[in-house]
Amino acid sequence: MVSGRARRRSLIHLAGAAALSALVPGRAAAAARPASLSQDDLARLGRGELVSVPLDLDLPEGDYFGGISYALIHAPVAEVAAVLADPGAYRAILPMTLEARVLSRRGQDAQVYFRQGGRLGSVAYVLIVRRESQGLFRFWLDPSHEHEIADLWGYLHVHPQGNDASLLTYAALVRLDAGVTKLLFSEKIRQFALRTPALVRAYVEGRRR
Smallest CA-to-CA distance from 129 within 151, 155, 150 is with 155
pLDDT at 105: 94
What is the value of pTM for the model shown? 0.82
So what's the pLDDT on residue 171? 92
Asked whether the beta carbons of 86 and 204 are under 8 A apart, the reply is no
* Alpha carbon distance 95, 10 (integer Å): 27
Answer whether residue 6 shows pLDDT above 70.
Answer: no
Beta-bridge partners for 51: 70
Contact 128, 143 (CB under 8 A): no
* pLDDT tier at 35, thresholds 50, 70, 90: low
The tens digit of pLDDT for each residue in 78-104 reads 999 999 999 999 999 999 999 999 999
Domain count, the chain: 1
Q: Is the pLDDT of residue 29 over 90?
A: no
Which pLDDT score, from 0 to 100, does residue 100 have? 95
pLDDT above 80: residue 20: no
- Asked if 93 and 195 count as a contact pair (C-beta separation under 8 A), the reply is no
Domain that holds residue 143: 4-208
Distance of alpha carbon 176 from the chain centroid: 16
Q: Please work out, in degrees rounded to the nearest 5, the angle formed at the alpha carbon of residue 196 by the alpha carbons of 189 and 56.
A: 45
CA angle at residue 151 from 145 to 155, to 5 degrees?
Answer: 100
Q: Which residues lie across from 153 on neighbouring strands?
A: 140, 173
CATH classification of the domain holding 41: 3.30.530.20
**pLDDT tens column, 150-203:** 899 999 999 998 888 999 999 999 988 765 455 456 788 889 999 999 999 999
Confidence label for 31 from pLDDT (cuts 50, 70 and 90): very low
Confidence of residue 106 (pLDDT cuts 50, 70, 90): very high
- For the ranges 6-10, 46-50, 87-91, 162-166, the lowest mean pLDDT is seen at 6-10
More confident position, 22 or 57: 57
32 pLDDT above the threshold of 50: no
